[in-house]
């Protein structure tokens, strides 16, 4: 007969004690949360359909490809800044921000107020008429961008934005071929699916790859070259390399591979564009070697192409040091695409470029029914105001760097943590089966740790081609107390996983 006696374990991380309820039941891990950071907000009462009813509706009414996180999917019904609440009133620290979309906080009062005011004024007209909000918002948004990036076309999502950028680049240059990186994610529309270089996100459709070339991904951790001097990050990989502090040999070697595409796969001097995320998002927060993007952009332009910076995940202050991720590469794009955090969860996206590039859309009619609608524009302006007023870019830098340094300690402590990378609050933690070979942690083992974190009240994303990277991209309003809690949970769950694995080895 099993006895489920509860004891109290005190774990210390960075000098702070966090208590957890444990069970002596064999082969289990704690399902009760540690003491979450205090929040003076009563758990909201859920009044909707039962969990089972919702689960049945999901199976019956949604398409079968709609998948859920976790073995028992969460039923979330309320959000407040960095917190989410399920139907039972349990609170979760959201460290994924609705897939890097909730930038300033769930249900931020200023954003809510702007939307509510606009709801009472005007919902929709489309751009066949003028309404003030789209013009006010356009002025405010382009003021955040450098150079001649002063013309904006509003859409509703990142896929739409990249879709349009592909067409604009091809029309402007008169060329067809476009380059993106292996491991990149730029959307899932039939057009952008060609840019996306993850087999898990691609359907066997004819024409998807038309004119698309995938360059070797310049990844200093799992790539052929790279190591501890290569990344522009507060935390470097432990992988050894022959680079010096002032020079990255890996960058030069990856650049040589990019040149091979121009030499052998493209019409000479005729490329339309290169697309690059400033830090790869879905691919697992992968960063490039220092100086690589700058040299790649020069090569593309020499061959007649444009550089498109995909800021769907890395924009709006998330990387901390800059408002836009591309600024960290010291380049000025020809086109910038953005979505997700631009609207804090409201459907909104944009393509920003120069007047000379934007004019190519005048060759024919092009129209987006909902792009820049009054509701979206009101929300977008409020988001920009909150980022400035609450200094969320600065917060991303300070809290993000603090968390990266804490994760670096955990990487040195736990064999299962192979790499920690990122800037600001765009962070990846790669879990491995073996640190020396950098072999990825298999799905069942990753899920063990991931589920434990959820059960203890912290929600992380999951990314990378092998789905072995914890994606940490929370609302930019999180504080150091939240960071300490998330770090303690990763620390504890990693420890429990190792113990469980050792017990399994002994039984074997």
Q: Which of 40-49, 155-164, 254-263, 420-429 has the lowest mean pLDDT?
A: 40-49
Is residue 325 within 8 A of residue 334, CB to CB? The reply is: no
- CB atoms under 10 Å from CB of 390, counted, come to 16
pTM of the model: 0.91
Rounded distance between C-alpha atoms, residue 434 and residue 468, angstroms? 13
- In this predicted structure, what is the pLDDT of residue 14? 54
The residue-averaged pLDDT of 120-148 equals: 95
Rounded distance between C-alpha atoms, residue 476 and residue 482, angstroms? 11
- In this predicted structure, what is the pLDDT of residue 505? 61
Token code pair at residue 499:
């113990």
Percent of the chain at pLDDT > 90 equals 84
Q: Strand, helix or coil at 277?
A: strand
Q: Tell me the per-residue pLDDT of 181-235, one tens digit each, with 9 for 90 and over.
A: 999 999 999 999 999 999 999 999 998 999 999 999 999 999 999 999 899 999 9
Is residue 436 within 8 A of residue 57, CB to CB? The reply is: no
Task: Number of helices (H) and strands (E) in the chain: give both, helices first.
Answer: 12, 18
- CB atoms under 10 Å from CB of 7, counted, come to 9
**C-alpha angle 239-242-247 in degrees, rounded to nearest 5:** 110
The residue-averaged pLDDT of 120-125 equals: 95
- In this predicted structure, what is the pLDDT of residue 20? 38
C-alpha distance from residue 266 to each of 8, 259, 272, 335 (Å)? 64, 10, 10, 21
Is residue 156 within 8 A of residue 347, CB to CB? The reply is: yes
- In this predicted structure, what is the pLDDT of residue 16? 52
Rounded distance between C-alpha atoms, residue 351 and residue 165, angstroms? 7
Rounded to the nearest integer, the mean pLDDT of the chain is 91
Nearest to 352 by CA among 373, 365, 338: 338
Q: DSSP for 303-318, please give it.
A: TT-EEEEE-TTTTTTT
Q: In what order do the strands lie in the sheet with 458-459?
A: 76-80, 83-86, 91-94, 458-459
């Amino acid at each position: 007969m099993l006895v489920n006696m509860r004891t109290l374990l005190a774990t210390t991380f960075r000098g702070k004690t966090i208590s957890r309820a444990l069970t002596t039941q064999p082969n289990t891990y704690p399902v009760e949360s540690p003491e979450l950071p205090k929040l003076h907000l009563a758990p909201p009462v859920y009044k909707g359909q039962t969990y089972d009813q919702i689960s049945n509706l999901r199976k019956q009414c949604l398409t079968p490809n709609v998948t859920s996180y976790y073995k028992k999917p969460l039923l979330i019904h309320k959000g407040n800044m960095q917190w989410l609440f399920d139907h039972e009133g349990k609170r979760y620290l959201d460290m994924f921000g609705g897939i890097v979309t909730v930038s300033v906080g769930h249900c931020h009062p200023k954003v809510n107020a702007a939307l509510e005011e606009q709801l009472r004024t005007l919902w929709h007209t489309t751009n066949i008429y003028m309404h003030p909000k789209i013009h006010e918002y356009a002025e405010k948004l382009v003021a955040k961008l450098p150079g001649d990036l002063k013309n904006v076309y509003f859409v509703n999502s990142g896929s739409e934005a990249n879709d349009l950028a592909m067409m604009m680049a091809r029309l402007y240059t008169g060329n067809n071929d476009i380059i993106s990186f292996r491991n990149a994610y730029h959307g899932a529309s039939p057009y952008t699916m060609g840019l996306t270089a993850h087999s898990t996100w691609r359907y066997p459709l004819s024409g998807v790859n038309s004119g698309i070339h995938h360059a070797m991904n310049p990844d200093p951790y799992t790539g052929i070259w790279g190591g501890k001097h290569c990344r522009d990050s507060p935390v470097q990989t432990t992988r050894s390399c022959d680079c010096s502090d002032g020079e990255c040999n890996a960058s030069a070697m990856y650049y040589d591979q990019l040149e091979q595409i121009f030499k052998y796969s493209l019409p000479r001097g005729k490329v339309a564009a290169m697309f690059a995320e400033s830090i790869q998002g879905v691919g697992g927060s992968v960063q490039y070697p220092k100086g690589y993007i700058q040299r790649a952009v020069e090569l593309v332009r020499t061959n007649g192409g444009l550089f498109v910076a995909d800021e769907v995940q890395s924009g709006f202050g998330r990387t901390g040091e800059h408002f836009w991720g591309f600024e960290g590469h010291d380049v000025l794009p020809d086109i910038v695409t953005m979505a997700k955090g631009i609207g804090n969860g409201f459907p909104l996206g944009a393509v920003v470029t120069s007047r000379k590039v934007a004019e190519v859309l005048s060759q024919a009619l092009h129209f987006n029914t909902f792009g820049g609608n009054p509701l979206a524009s009101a929300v977008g302006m409020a988001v920009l105001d909150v980022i400035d007023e609450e200094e969320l870019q600065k917060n991303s830098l300070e809290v993000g760097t603090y968390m990266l340094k804490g994760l670096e300690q955990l990487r040195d402590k736990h064999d299962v943590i192979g790499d920690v990378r990122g800037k600001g609050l765009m962070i990846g933690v790669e879990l491995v089966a073996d640190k020396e070979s950098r072999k990825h942690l298999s799905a069942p083992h990753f899920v063990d740790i991931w589920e434990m974190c959820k059960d203890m009240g912290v929600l992380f994303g999951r990314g990378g081609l092998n789905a072995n990277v914890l994606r940490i991209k929370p609302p930019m309003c999180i504080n150091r107390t939240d960071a300490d809690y998330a770090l303690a949970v990763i620390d504890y769950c990693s420890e429990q996983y190792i113990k469980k694995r050792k017990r399994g080895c002994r039984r074997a």
